[in-house]
Structure 1
Amino acid sequence: MTDLIPAVHQPVAETWPTLVAPRSNPVRRAGALAAIRFIGKDLPATITMDNRTYGRGGTGDPAMRVHRSGPFLDRLSQDAGSGFGEAYLAGDWDPAPGTDLGDLLLPFAQRFSDEEKRQLLPKWAQSLRWLVTRSQPGEQENDRAGSRQNISRHYDLSNAMFSEFLDPTLTYSAAYFGERATADLATASYDELTAAQLAKLDAILDAAGVRSGSRVLDIGCGWASLAIRAAQRGAWVTAITIASQQALLAQRRIADSGVSDRVQVALRDYRDQIGEFDAVLSVEMIEAVGEKYWPVYFDAIERRLAPGGVAVVQAIVMPHERMLATRNTFTWVQKYIFPGGLIPSVKVIKDVTTEHTGLQAQVLRHLGPDYARTLRIWRNRFVDQWPNIAALGFDETFKRMWEFYLAYSEAGFRSGYLDDVQLLLTKR
């Protein structure tokens, strides 16, 4: 029986208690199998389980193999938001030999981006989703204390680990490849990443009009690549973050770049910043703010703008209807990667800025394909550098978690389910 075949990977229960196989429920297991059969009717991929295949994938289409069907179905039936990803972390399934994980996840993401096929389940099954859909836990609240804890869990994970797969600028957001964004991902190369990241940083600074003498606030500064680039133009920069280890490395990188006299790094919540600035910049931070605090976030940006000043926000976004449908669910990404996170829509950003501030938001650039390429490069690099990352104390389950996260995100951008936009905010 397939259930008796050892998994390719088995997580350490003491280290990963959330991955312990759930108690089997024959009724729910049957429901999960029925869902797979339904999905497989028009899924251009192949799922092999218990010597049977599901899906309409043909030769050359992505394929996956389920090593342990029982735990796999139990996880799917217990938690609709996390079960599929948890089954991968636990080693219950793998891409078939020759299938890239991102290519495999793409058909699933395309169902969400396709208006007619957006719902994975038939209507009768959708009415029962509440049985297996969980809400975001209260401890992930993004007040000041909660935000600090949520951000630290990801960005203070290990500076050394991030350094292994990011490019030398340590820029942890979508790069800007221009025409190469839509080139075959099989050609994506680590060698092209730094130039694309610098192009992205320059595009933000150009949009904000940053020049010599400009006063710049960088909210959620990461490892200071944008702050350094702005200072190299002659700007005066205040860079803030609430990730303590990240701040320490940011300060060291600023010193190594010779711009310590122009950049101040502060361990500070965006709600506590004071002063006026000609440009306020914030790159892919809004996803960690939380819906309850979006009005507070944009109000803080407006309050920091000097007369005539502008803000540029780069944000991961999703279709508005999907945001509304999923905003109260507890997803795999929230559970394992970004606690407290929620991806907004362009519409909600415009609505919030209109209703709660005197700002107006204008989309300058879409970077969805660029992000897919960025993520493929990061994932390839992560795998290539895994021996160095493992030497830092991370185990094989962590490797699978990050491979799934990067591939899952790549599939979202490739399908159009996710996008990444640069927005210009000006005072009305």
Structure 2
Amino acid sequence: MTSTQDATVCAIDAERWPDVTAVHGSAARREIARALFRAAVSRLPVRVLLPGGRCLGTGPLGAPVMVVHNPAAFFTRLGAGGLIGFGESYLAGDWDCTDLTSLLAVFATHVGDLVPAPLQLMRRLAMHGHPAVDAQTRDGARRNISRHYDLSNEFFALFLDETMTYSSALFETAADGTPVAADRVLGRAQRRKIDRLLDQAGVGSGSRLLEIGTGWGELAIKAGQRGADVRTVTISARQRELAARRVAEAGLAGQVTVELRDYRDVDGQFDAICSVEMVEAVGERYWDTYFAQLDRLLAPGGRIALQTITMPHDRMLASRRTYTWIQKYIFPGGLIPSVTAIENSLGRRTGLRITQQYDFGEHYAKTLRIWRDRFCARQGEVTGLGFDAVFLRMWLFYLCYAEAGFRAGYLNVSQLTLERS
């Protein structure tokens, strides 16, 4: 370990980041990881620089360059924890890349063949399952949501737009269908996304609207401005606090009710239901419960508009039992569904069917790029809120990781309209 790496590790709060500080793993697994990594990068358009000027991979000029500062720690973590170890080694400073999103996009594109097929079963057997504490029970869901959404309203305000919307925007598109995405139009693009959802749900004057997952209140406010009677529920105390204040400031306190309530405890009948990027946080075990609750709450003739991140069904099946870096550090207890999984759940427990599907994954990649640029430009202010250097690297890795998934087509985002058969 170099003196520079010693200084980096010593600066990490071991109590707050125990698995980033510690480097545990057998020498045998380290060497297996080293061999597999070398074989993988030799087939990919990347280059990996090791100390002493050694280079792995034969990526072309302009290919992403991964610089490994501490090979022993990097391969030990990779051997012990797979992709979790890969991410933790970045948090620890074992490696860097000046174009992290492009590097991760290459890995995402080839995620199915990074490990040779005969070894994939052995790898799955060696990986850890989901911790029981992360299960999305009522208590577990509150803990999980609090770990992310209750970080600080001021923190999220640093990189979100003025609508405080933390989901994919819907940009105008050029003649070739490419999203016209820029920082200055992000707020307008978020409102366009919300308007499309409200239109799909048929929300207008006098509509009884339920929103599951308030965020910071923009959809509820827009619906209230249409004349709807809105009930919106969240289990994030910090989000509820700011959303209620924004509703009051918009003059809609008598029309929009913001409640701290689990979706499973909502009652009543609603003409329309909207839920934005909520299904991913429900957890696979509770998808049937979630959709059955939507069915129970929807009034006859009503419509549901959902926005959800999705992945191909085969990839979802392959990864559903795997405990990932994103679940450990960013979104505990969640799982991104496939559209097929949603259809299967609807068929098992409800009379609902998907009647419209609109996909716009490229728009999410653009949204994430803007968030990343804003986050990077304001890292000093993030530190001023009390977050440390490992947190900064964790959030940068997360934003690049997510953007890479959409750029590679590994992830998509869809607006789904649900109606009874």
TM tier, smaller: over 0.9
Match of 1:243 among 228, 236, 243: 236
> How many angstroms apart in 1 are the aligned matches of 2:224 and 2:146?
26
Partner-residue secondary structure (3-state), 1:265: strand
Match of 2:87 in 1: 85
For residues 261-280 of structure 1, the aligned pairs below 5 Å read: 261-280=254-273
One-letter amino acid of the structure 1 residue matched with residue 78 of structure 2:
L
Partner-residue secondary structure (3-state), 2:358: strand
Q: Conserved in 1, the CA contact under 8 Å of 2:24 and 2:80?
A: no
Partner-residue secondary structure (3-state), 2:391: helix
The structural deviation recorded for 1:416 is: 0.5
The structural deviation recorded for 1:48 is: 1.1
Match of 2:29 in 1: 28
Match of 2:170 in 1: 176
One-letter amino acid of the structure 1 residue matched with residue 99 of structure 2:
D
One-letter amino acid of the structure 1 residue matched with residue 93 of structure 2:
G
Cα RMSD between the aligned structures? 1.7
118-127 vs 152-161, greater mean Cα deviation: 118-127
> How many angstroms apart in 2 are the aligned matches of 1:325 and 1:404?
23
Match of 1:4 in 2: 2
The structural deviation recorded for 1:189 is: 2.9
One-letter amino acid of the structure 1 residue matched with residue 141 of structure 2:
S
One-letter amino acid of the structure 1 residue matched with residue 401 of structure 2:
Y
Partner-residue secondary structure (3-state), 1:266: strand
Match of 1:57 in 2: 59
The structural deviation recorded for 1:105 is: 1.1
For residues 213-232 of structure 1, the aligned pairs below 5 Å read: 213-232=206-225
Q: Conserved in 1, the CA contact under 8 Å of 2:65 and 2:99?
A: no
51-60 vs 394-403, greater mean Cα deviation: 51-60
Q: Judging changes above 3 Å, is the alpha-carbon distance between structure 1 residues 308 and 329 closer, same or farther for their aligned structure 2 residues?
A: same
Partner-residue secondary structure (3-state), 1:379: helix
Partner-residue secondary structure (3-state), 1:169: coil
- Superposed CA deviations along residues 321-379 of structure 1, whole A, max 9, x for unmatched, are 11111111110000000010111000010111012100001343112100000000001
> How many angstroms apart in 1 are the aligned matches of 2:300 and 2:110?
46
> How many angstroms apart in 2 are the aligned matches of 1:245 and 1:320?
34
Match of 2:304 in 1: 311
Q: Judging changes above 3 Å, is the alpha-carbon distance between structure 1 residues 180 and 285 closer, same or farther for their aligned structure 2 residues?
A: farther
The structural deviation recorded for 1:119 is: 2.4
> How many angstroms apart in 1 are the aligned matches of 2:388 and 2:242?
24
Match of 1:13 in 2: 14
The structural deviation recorded for 1:181 is: 11
**Sequence identity (%):** 49
Q: Conserved in 2, the CA contact under 8 Å of 1:6 and 1:67?
A: no
Q: Conserved in 2, the CA contact under 8 Å of 1:21 and 1:75?
A: no
**TM-score normalized with structure 1 length:** 0.94
For residues 135-284 of structure 1, the aligned pairs below 5 Å read: 135-179=129-173, 188-284=181-277
The structural deviation recorded for 1:52 is: 1.9
For residues 120-139 of structure 1, the aligned pairs below 5 Å read: 120-130=114-124, 132-139=126-133
Partner-residue secondary structure (3-state), 1:79: helix
- Superposed CA deviations along residues 185-207 of structure 1, whole A, max 9, x for unmatched, are 9x953212101101100010111
Q: Conserved in 2, the CA contact under 8 Å of 1:181 and 1:370?
A: no
For residues 102-117 of structure 1, the aligned pairs below 5 Å read: 102-112=101-111
The structural deviation recorded for 1:58 is: 1.7
- Superposed CA deviations along residues 92-129 of structure 1, whole A, max 9, x for unmatched, are 0000xxx32111211001113xxxxx221112322320
> How many angstroms apart in 2 are the aligned matches of 1:109 and 1:205?
33
The structural deviation recorded for 1:13 is: 1.7
> How many angstroms apart in 1 are the aligned matches of 2:44 and 2:414?
29
Q: Judging changes above 3 Å, is the alpha-carbon distance between structure 1 residues 349 and 6 closer, same or farther for their aligned structure 2 residues?
A: same
User: Which runs of 5 or more residues in structure 2 are unaligned?
Assistant: none
One-letter amino acid of the structure 2 residue matched with residue 80 of structure 1:
G
One-letter amino acid of the structure 1 residue matched with residue 165 of structure 2:
T
Partner-residue secondary structure (3-state), 2:226: coil
Partner-residue secondary structure (3-state), 1:127: helix
The structural deviation recorded for 1:76 is: 0.3
> How many angstroms apart in 2 are the aligned matches of 1:194 and 1:78?
42
> How many angstroms apart in 2 are the aligned matches of 1:181 and 1:108?
31
Match of 2:405 in 1: 412
- Superposed CA deviations along residues 68-96 of structure 1, whole A, max 9, x for unmatched, are 0011001100011301111110000000x
> How many angstroms apart in 2 are the aligned matches of 1:183 and 1:35?
39
**Corresponding residue pairs, total:** 417
Match of 2:415 in 1: 422
The structural deviation recorded for 1:184 is: 8.5
One-letter amino acid of the structure 1 residue matched with residue 129 of structure 2:
S
Match of 2:374 in 1: 381
Q: Conserved in 1, the CA contact under 8 Å of 2:64 and 2:99?
A: yes
Q: Conserved in 1, the CA contact under 8 Å of 2:134 and 2:333?
A: yes
> How many angstroms apart in 1 are the aligned matches of 2:243 and 2:392?
25
Partner-residue secondary structure (3-state), 1:417: coil
Q: Conserved in 2, the CA contact under 8 Å of 1:81 and 1:330?
A: no
Partner-residue secondary structure (3-state), 1:223: coil
**TM-score normalized with structure 2 length:** 0.96
Q: Conserved in 2, the CA contact under 8 Å of 1:314 and 1:423?
A: yes
One-letter amino acid of the structure 2 residue matched with residue 94 of structure 1:
D
The structural deviation recorded for 1:307 is: 1.0
Match of 2:348 among 351, 355, 361: 355
Match of 1:115 in 2: none
One-letter amino acid of the structure 1 residue matched with residue 397 of structure 2:
F
Partner-residue secondary structure (3-state), 2:110: helix
Match of 2:388 in 1: 395
The structural deviation recorded for 1:131 is: 5.4
> How many angstroms apart in 2 are the aligned matches of 1:239 and 1:182?
37
The structural deviation recorded for 1:209 is: 1.0
Q: Conserved in 1, the CA contact under 8 Å of 2:213 and 2:278?
A: yes
